[in-house]
Amino acid sequence: MDFSQYFSEFPSFSLTKCNLRKIEIKDAEYLYKYYNNKNVYQYLDWNGPSSIDNSIEIINRWNQGYTEGWIIRFGIVKKETNEIIGTIFLNSFDGKRAEIGYELSEDYWNRGIMSEAIRKIIELGFNTLDRTRIQATVCNENIASEQILIKNGFQYEGLLRQYEEHYVTKQIKDMKLYSIIKNY
């Protein structure tokens, strides 16, 4: 996807509970810090960055992905301090479809931050990027992620058996597929 047809520069959004903005090198320490918590990464397909230097590499890869058009990944940041506390993204731009993914520091769970960010990314995907379908794959055990997707209008579509291999543990997991369709 050529993001330059939609944005002159990486977009940012000021929401009620947080801001969404480009992830920068200065965020590497915070990214490493909150990812370094099993409760944050236990249902993801990786364990997060292994060091601050690795965080920098990952940030550079995500930002390069934006330039190349395969991902738009936002930092979820505290309004008061601009400190990164999570990320949210759209990728897999096949046809009119995109996939959403996200994670948030455990210190900020159950505050409505992720729901607000998800709503904004859905709006961005449908209204700006002209997607007709946004989907998410969720680890079979990740009940909290399922609940937040349902709360934000996603519908369960089915179980993807033995669908995803964890990059570190090599464990293969069943995933649940959820989607939301644009209403015209």
pLDDT interval class at 79 (50, 70, 90): very high
How confident is the model over 11-31, as a mean pLDDT?
97
Mean pLDDT, the chain, whole residue set? 93
What is the Cα–Cα distance from 142 to 96, expressed in whole angstroms?
27
Residue 184: the pLDDT is: 64
Residue 3: how many CB atoms within 10 A of its CB? 19
Helices 113-123 and 143-151: angle between axes, nearest 10 degrees: 50
Query: Three-state DSSP class for 61?
Result: helix
Instruction: Name the pLDDT band for 167 (thresholds 50, 70, 90).
Output: low
Distances (CA, A) of 111 to 56, 90, 115: 28, 22, 9
Give the burial class of 42: count Cβ atoms within 10 A of its Cβ; 0-12 exposed, 13-18 middle, 19 or more buried.
exposed
CB atoms within 10 A of CB 107: 11
The pLDDT value recorded for residue 108 is 95
Alpha helices in the chain (DSSP H): 28-35, 38-41, 52-68, 113-123, 143-151
What pLDDT is recorded for position 62?
Answer: 96
Instruction: Write out pLDDT tens, residues 29-51.
Output: 999 999 888 877 776 776 789 99
pLDDT at 113 over 70: yes
CA angle 177, 140, 111 (to 5 degrees): 85
| Cβ atoms < 10 Å from Cβ of 139 | 19
What is 11-181's CATH number, 2.60.40.1180, 3.40.50.150, 3.40.50.720, 3.40.630.30?
3.40.630.30
